[in-house]
Chain A
Amino acid sequence: MDRRESLKSIVLGSLAGGLALQGCKMDDAELQDAVTQGAERYFGRTPEELELIEKLNAETFFTPHERETLSVLAERILPPVEEYGGPLEAGVPDFMEFMAKDIPELQVTLRGGLMWLDHKSNTEYNLEFKAASQEQQHQIMDGIAFYDAQVPMREHPLEIQFFSLVRNLTVCGYYTSKPGIAELGYKGNVPNIWDGVPQHVLDKHGLAYEEEWLAKCVDQSQRGVIAEWDEDGNLLT
């Protein structure tokens, strides 16, 4: 089944799901499989959302040169580290490509900024930015990488807005990737049982749970026991 066909099946499948409860039976195993596979690929999207993603993926925004320049810039912004890699391992160029199509308001700043970058590099070094030496690249970046945070970003010059946007997309793209999350050390998004702040963290912050408060909180050893109350609302189990 090709992708277009399988998309169509997902659309049908979701309607069939609704109809099934109105009395019809869905017994097409192949359809069911396509839906399941689609789910694995498509993370809970509706048919309309899937279509939008397909549509955006079928378009290309950045030229090969623009994409190469962005990749170089991203690697300069967040240089790779041995254990986790950097923006390329994190799929940052694909993320930027997708976001430029998903939020078209970003396009002029990104494309215009890339032109500014090459213009600056050509003027200073007679080289496009991506072909300049790392030291030359850093010198250009030094001029646009810092900003006064008291001034709203939209009031800064284009090249500062551009660099800020690319830095945002680079840092975000990296830290929302598998290696980035591993480097950050985020520990959640897994089934677990929350039972309070670790004692040594409390100590470090000079805080403690009050006995009276703690006494009201869930006893996690009893979480599997069905709740029962007396008539005044006191929990008995």
Chain B
Amino acid sequence: MQIKENATVYDAVIVGSGAGGGMATKVLADAGLKVAVVEAGPFFDPADPKQQTQLKWPYESPRRGAGTTRAFGEWDAAYGGWEIEGEPYTHKDGTKFDWFRSHMLGGRTNHWGRISLRFGPKDFKHKDVDGLGDNWPIGYEDIKPYYDKVDKLIGVFGTNEGLPNDPDGFFLPPPKPRLHELYYIKGARKTGIPVYPSRMSMLTKKINNERGVCFYCGQCSRACQVYADFSAGSCLIFPAQKGRGQVDLFTNCVVREVTTDANGKATGVSYINKEDRKEYKLKGRVVVLAASACSSARILLNSKSPQHPNGLGNGSDLVGKYLHDSTGSSRAGFIPDLMNREIYNEDGVGGMHVYSPWWGDNKTLDFPRGYHIEVWGGMGMPNYGFGFNVNDFNKFFGLPTGGYGDQLRKDVKKYYGSVLGFGGRGESIARKDNYCEIDPTTVDEFGIPVLRFHYKWSDLERRQARHMQATFEELIHNMGGEVLGDTPTAEQDYGLATPGRIIHEVGTTRMGDDPRTSVTNRFQQLHEADNVFITDAGPFVSQADKNCTWTILALSWRASEYIVEQLKQQNI
């Protein structure tokens, strides 16, 4: 079979349409460039009635919302999950890494928590603080102007608090706390943990005439049909299509590799169209990889040529290395004061209205770096799982558990909305020996060699999780609550989530000034092929105790401006 080559030469071929690819599309198209966006999954628009899950009721489904086909429940907007049929990944040395992939226009931005935190000055230079990991080649001052622009373009609510490592921004006003969040504020203050309005990318106020304003259904994970939350499709790709440039979308197209010429420069990409299972080529003056940290590393490692025998941009042998996810540990409590609630609509925005950024002083602790606390609770919409073990909390009052009859109806209402939970999301240390690489014996259904993961937590992360658990227990007690479940033991890593589970994986193509110790330069340009850029979370040197999306967006904007400038100057 002959590989079909598209005659068009694009200014840029962008691989992936999530946060990093979406932002590159927007910036490059707005500069008048001709771009191709290659996305492995189908077209998706949350405003399309046939794809909407927002405002559906549980009884519209025969499984009432159970997560059989979607890991976070069947209303979740993300297509894909921890395992995708025909597209395996493997593990080395018995280690664990769970990889969440979402193949669709907008990728994982369609369902994410919208927690939109800037990294602070310390996060870029943390080696200077504790000697661990590496510093970034750039600092907060380099990225600040782009965070500012992202805030204004996309919209994020929050408050300026003047915190040293949780910078101020251009915020929309936050929603008022819900009842369980007021309990949290009170409980946290007893322990001296500060609480602030959360920082999330939903529009509590209009930012332009194209996007709607939040109508408080609490269903951002289902993707918003009026575009009141940030998804890369609705907020970046669609506006880019209406802009100055030309945007050609290639959906259901899986990129195999970046093609290169005799000088080792990229000429475009080759991809497999899932619909006819044939191989095609696209030509571009620049290639932007934004397929997600691990997928972009995979594409580079699979792009072998005489000029790049170890994979494209992999002379340092560091592509795939320094893979790291956020630490995560969770706990929930039953709050008797929240029993027998009066019922009113408290759906609010999807997720938390308040949060606690890291407050601790590591000098007095047995682990480095910190974590922030996410809070959940409230009188949510019943879905699959609602009413299971309906009166287990009777055990706290010496009452019988189980039974049948009219009593069950009373029990349902007695305990509805009385549980509050915490997620700790923290910073792990990036290590060279946590990595993904090509599995030499396995391919996916498109014949593309797949990734093999090797990842181990260290005691630094385990001790952080132990601290999270102790903190959560104290907070629940402060609220007069009962902690649910047993305290996770050392054998259970203190409840530390399996690597990958927090879906904040970063670091596989880290940036640096020295080509021997980094894959890209400070503008996310491959040291070894100057017309290839990476705008997902691969170039992160460290992940901070934040979520990565806002930083992906800001860095992608910065890299994309650099691309425009370099093209103009004919440097690439």
Binding site for B on A (CB under 8 A): 10, 13-15, 17-18, 21-23, 35-36, 38-40, 43-44, 46, 48-49, 52-53, 56-57, 76-79, 81, 91, 94-95, 98-99, 102-103, 141, 145-150, 163-164, 167-168, 171-178, 180-181, 183-198, 201-202, 204-205, 207, 209, 213-214, 216-219, 222-227, 229, 233-235, 237
Contact A35–B176 (Cβ < 8 Å): no
Contact B408–A171 (Cβ < 8 Å): yes
- Interface residue stretch chosen among B384-392, B464-472, B563-571: B384-392
Which residues of B, 32-91, contact A by the 8 Å Cβ criterion? 42-43, 48-53, 55-66, 68-69, 74-75, 79
Contact B173–A194 (Cβ < 8 Å): no
Contact A77–B404 (Cβ < 8 Å): yes
- Interface residue stretch chosen among B152-160, B289-297, B419-427, B515-523: B152-160
Chain A residues in 8 Å Cβ range of B405: 76-79
Instruction: Output the residue of B64, B157, B208 with the most chain A CB within 10 A.
Output: B64
Q: Does B402 contact A (CB under 8 A)?
A: yes
- What are the 4 tightest A-B residue pairs by CB atom distance, in nearest-first order? A171-B387, A39-B50, A191-B215, A196-B176
Chain B residues in 8 Å Cβ range of A213: 177, 197
Chain B residues in 8 Å Cβ range of A148: 401
Binding site for A on B (CB under 8 A): 42-43, 48-53, 55-66, 68-69, 74-75, 79, 148, 152, 155, 157, 159-160, 168-179, 182-183, 186, 197, 204-209, 213, 215-219, 248-252, 275, 337, 342-349, 379-390, 392, 394-395, 400-406, 408-409, 412-413, 416
Q: What CA separation (Å) do A179 and B288 show in the bound complex?
A: 52
Q: Which of B250, B252, B402 contacts A15 (CB 8 A)?
A: B252
Question: Closest Cβ of chain B: how far from A95's Cβ, in Å?
Answer: 6
Q: Which of B49, B168, B347, B349 contacts A36 (CB 8 A)?
A: B49
Residue ID in chain A nearest B252 by CB atoms: A18
Contact A189–B251 (Cβ < 8 Å): no
Chain B residues in 8 Å Cβ range of A186: 343, 379, 381-382
Q: What CA separation (Å) do A95 and B61 show in the bound complex?
A: 9
Contact B68–A209 (Cβ < 8 Å): no
Chain B residues in 8 Å Cβ range of A91: 59
Q: What CA separation (Å) do A37 and B381 show in the bound complex?
A: 26
Chain A residues in 8 Å Cβ range of B69: 48-49, 52
A197 and B49 in contact, given A191-B215, A225-B206 (Cβ under 8 angstroms): no
Contact A233–B412 (Cβ < 8 Å): no
Q: What CA separation (Å) do A177 and B60 show in the bound complex?
A: 9
Identify whether the interface residues of B are mostly helix, strand, loop, or mixed: loop
Chain A residues in 8 Å Cβ range of B168: 233
A218 and B174 in contact, given A35-B50, A98-B63 (Cβ under 8 angstroms): yes
Contact A218–B343 (Cβ < 8 Å): no
Residue ID in chain A nearest B216 by CB atoms: A194
Contact B390–A167 (Cβ < 8 Å): yes
> Can you identify 18 A-B contacts, CB atoms within 8 angstroms?
A39-B50, A44-B52, A44-B75, A77-B404, A78-B404, A103-B66, A149-B389, A168-B387, A184-B343, A184-B413, A186-B381, A188-B345, A194-B348, A197-B177, A214-B176, A218-B157, A229-B152, A233-B148
Chain A residues in 8 Å Cβ range of B175: 194, 217-218
Q: What CA separation (Å) do A193 and B49 show in the bound complex?
A: 23
Contact A189–B43 (Cβ < 8 Å): no
Q: What CA separation (Å) do A175 and B386 show in the bound complex?
A: 7
Contact A22–B388 (Cβ < 8 Å): no
Q: What CA separation (Å) do A229 and B56 show in the bound complex?
A: 36
